[in-house]
Structure formats: structure tokens, C-alpha cells
């Protein structure tokens, strides 16, 4: 790995870029709001951000790692983020390579967060892990046998659409009963309201649960049980060492993790899953940047 890697994280509300050293330290960071409008206006904001961050480099930059909201198409080097409607099959890898003169490697944001936790966060020293986000939506990314796992198109790790209630609510993906329809923040709050809770959102739900509100506690227990079912299924398929959970709902701490771990004892019954651990994410909002750099360091290996 060269002295520095240029990392880019493309999201629906903000664009972030940074310089990451060979030890995984984020030594410089900048961000700007994601602009609305023409695709080229958005690209201009990305290009300007990359230029500004590169100017802060005090050592050689060897490559660019790109984390993007999905869907992504890693073989084609394009992105079509659901939350950035201006970009449909936008050739981000080609644009970044042309603008910087450096090789660029693309990964979905869930995968890059997984790589970040594997390299510098809660997953250090582990061989195979799932990094799961439980927030407004639910997503994830996989590191298997010490390498990023993209899948066929680059979209592996969409664990929010594991079905946990076959007769459950319709999901925005077109399916029904996905874990996202049970355990995401908005759905936790919605379920609680249908059972007599009078609060506004998942943040207030967590506050009320911490204060002992029975319905709020039941909502978290129900969501945690759905997450545990998802984790048990993915872990059985992938033979995981570790699951790292982050996101807004995960910030509730023991309200989520205690019932999650208890339910996991029921669902993860195979002998080889007995050592599976579930822990909180460590890197926070910069996991995508650190993970994008890790992806570039692995030369964007596709598998």
C-alpha cells in the first residue's frame, strides 16, 4: 500500500473524502452537502472535493477507494444510488480515474463500512464478519476469509431484505416481511404507536424504553428478535466469526443488544455458531472512508 489512499464516500445527504495512511488512520477529512439537480453538478461537487483533499496530501497517493450508496455495479464501475436519483449508472470509476490519474476501486457503502471495522474497528483480527446497519433502514456488508465480498454485481450484504415474517408488511424492495419492515427505526416506532405508545420517533422510543415504558420495551424486543433471526441465517450461510452492528437504532445500546443476544441463543443453534459474537461498531461515521481505503489496498479484489 502506498503512503496514502484517497477515500471517497458518496451518500444521499453528504459527500465525504479523506486521506488514509497505511495504518488505516484518517489523517485528513472534508465533506460537503450532496447537491440536488443535474448529474454534472453533482459530479462537479465530487471533483472539487477530491481536489481539495488531494491538496492536503504530504505523501504519495497510490489509489482511490470509493464507497457509494447503492445499488452499485462494480464490474461496470457505475453507481445508481436510490437516494441520489440524478445518478443512474453513473460511471464513477471512470470519472474519478480521469480526474485524479489514479486507479480507483468501487464498493457499496455497506461493504466499505464492513472493511473499515475489519481493518481498524471492532473486527480487527477477525477472519469473517458481517457489518450490519440498523437505522432508518437496514443494510450490511461482508468480509469473508479476510477479503471483501462483493457478490456478482457488488451488492452482496443487503441483509435488510432477509425475510423474517413471511406474512408481514410490504417492503419498499417489492418483497414482504423483510427485517427492515420490523426492526428499522421508523418501523419500531410505527409498531409501538399501533400498540398504544404516543411518541414521535425511534429516538423518543429509545428514551421511553430506557425509562421503563412497557410498549417501547416490547418494540425493541420485537425488533431485536428479527435482527437475531437475520444474523443467525447469514452466519449459518457464511460461517462468521463476528457481527458488528451500528446505526441509529444500535445507539440505543443494551435496549437492542441485550434482547438480540438472548434471541440469538435460540436461533443460532449449530455447533459452529456457538462462538459467534455480536458487538457494537466502533468507527462511527468515518467507517465508510476507512473501508474504502482498505478496499483500494486490496486492489478492489472482486469475489
Whole-number pLDDT of residue 2: 59
- CB count within 10 Å of CB 198 equals 10
| Among candidate residues 294, 2, 247, 1, the one with its CA nearest the CA of residue 148 | 294
Q: Is residue 255 part of a domain?
A: yes
Indicate whether 129 and 176 sit together in one domain: yes
Whole-number pLDDT of residue 5: 96
Q: Is residue 116 part of a domain?
A: no
Whole-number pLDDT of residue 297: 86
* Number of domains present in the structure of the chain: 2
Task: Confirm if 250 and 291 have CB atoms less than 8 A apart.
Answer: no
Name the DSSP letter for residue 18.
Answer: E
Indicate whether 174 and 277 sit together in one domain: yes
Separation CA 215–CA 206 (nearest Å): 11
Indicate whether 90 and 223 sit together in one domain: no
Question: Of all helices (H) and strands (E), which one includes residue 140?
Answer: strand 138-144
Q: Is residue 129 part of a domain?
A: yes
Indicate whether 163 and 68 sit together in one domain: no
pTM of the model: 0.92
Structural domain containing residue 25: 4-109+292-297
CATH number for 135: 3.30.420.40
Overall size of the chain counted in residues: 303
Indicate whether 270 and 181 sit together in one domain: yes
Alpha helices in the chain (DSSP H): 39-54, 92-100, 109-120, 180-183, 185-194, 202-210, 214-238, 254-267, 287-297
Separation CA 207–CA 25 (nearest Å): 34
**Who contacts 152 (Cβ-Cβ below 8 Å, separation ≥6)?**
none
* Angle at CA of residue 60, ends 141 and 64, nearest 5°: 30
The pLDDT tens digits along the chain (303 residues) read: 458 999 999 998 999 999 999 999 999 999 999 998 899 999 999 999 999 999 999 899 999 999 999 999 999 999 999 889 889 999 999 999 999 999 999 999 999 999 999 999 999 999 999 999 999 999 999 999 999 999 999 999 999 999 999 999 999 999 999 999 999 999 999 999 999 999 999 999 999 999 999 999 999 999 999 999 999 999 999 999 999 999 999 999 999 999 999 999 999 999 999 999 999 999 988 999 999 999 998 874 444
Whole-number pLDDT of residue 83: 85
CA 182 to chain centre: 18
Per residue in 226-259, pLDDT (tens digit) is 999 999 999 999 999 999 999 999 999 999 999 9
Indicate whether 64 and 93 sit together in one domain: yes
Whole-number pLDDT of residue 101: 97
Indicate whether 155 and 13 sit together in one domain: no
Indicate whether 81 and 193 sit together in one domain: no
Amino acid at each position: 500500500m502506498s503512503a496514502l489512499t484517497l477515500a471517497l464516500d458518496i451518500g444521499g445527504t453528504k459527500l465525504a473524502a479523506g486521506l488514509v495512511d497505511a495504518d488505516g488512520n484518517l489523517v485528513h477529512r472534508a465533506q460537503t452537502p450532496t447537491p440536488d439537480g443535474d448529474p454534472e453538478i453533482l459530479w462537479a461537487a465530487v471533483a472539487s472535493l477530491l481536489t481539495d483533499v488531494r491538496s492536503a496530501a504530504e505523501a504519495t497517493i497510490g489509489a482511490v477507494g470509493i464507497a457509494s450508496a447503492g445499488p452499485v455495479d462494480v464490474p461496470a464501475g457505475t453507481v445508481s444510488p436510490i437516494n441520489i436519483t440524478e445518478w443512474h449508472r453513473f460511471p464513477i470509476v471512470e470519472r474519478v480515474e480521469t480526474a485524479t490519474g489514479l486507479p480507483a476501486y468501487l464498493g457499496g457503502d455497506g461493504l466499505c463500512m464492513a472493511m473499515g471495522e475489519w481493518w481498524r474497528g471492532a473486527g480487527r483480527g477477525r477472519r469473517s464478519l458481517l457489518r450490519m446497519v440498523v437505522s432508518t433502514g437496514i443494510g450490511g456488508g461482508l468480509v469473508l476469509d479476510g477479503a471483501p465480498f462483493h457478490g456478482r454485481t457488488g451488492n452482496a450484504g443487503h441483509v435488510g431484505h432477509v425475510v423474517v415474517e413471511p406474512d408481514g408488511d410490504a417492503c419498499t424492495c417489492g418483497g414482504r416481511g423483510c427485517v427492515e419492515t420490523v426492526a428499522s427505526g421508523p418501523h419500531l416506532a410505527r409498531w409501538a404507536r399501533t400498540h398504544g405508545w404516543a411518541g414521535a420517533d425511534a429516538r423518543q422510543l429509545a428514551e421511553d424504553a430506557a425509562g421503563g415504558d412497557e410498549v417501547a420495551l416490547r418494540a425493541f424486543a420485537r425488533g431485536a428478535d428479527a435482527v437475531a433471526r437475520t444474523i443467525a441465517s447469514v452466519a449459518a450461510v457464511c460461517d462468521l466469526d463476528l457481527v458488528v452492528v451500528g446505526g441509529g437504532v444500535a445507539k440505543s445500546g443494551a435496549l437492542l443488544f441485550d434482547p438480540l443476544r438472548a434471541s440469538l441463543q435460540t436461533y443460532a443453534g449449530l455447533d459452529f455458531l456457538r462462538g459467534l459474537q455480536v458487538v457494537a461498531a466502533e468507527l462511527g461515521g468515518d467507517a465508510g472512508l476507512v473501508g474504502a481505503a482498505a478496499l483500494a489496498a486490496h486492489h478492489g479484489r472482486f469475489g
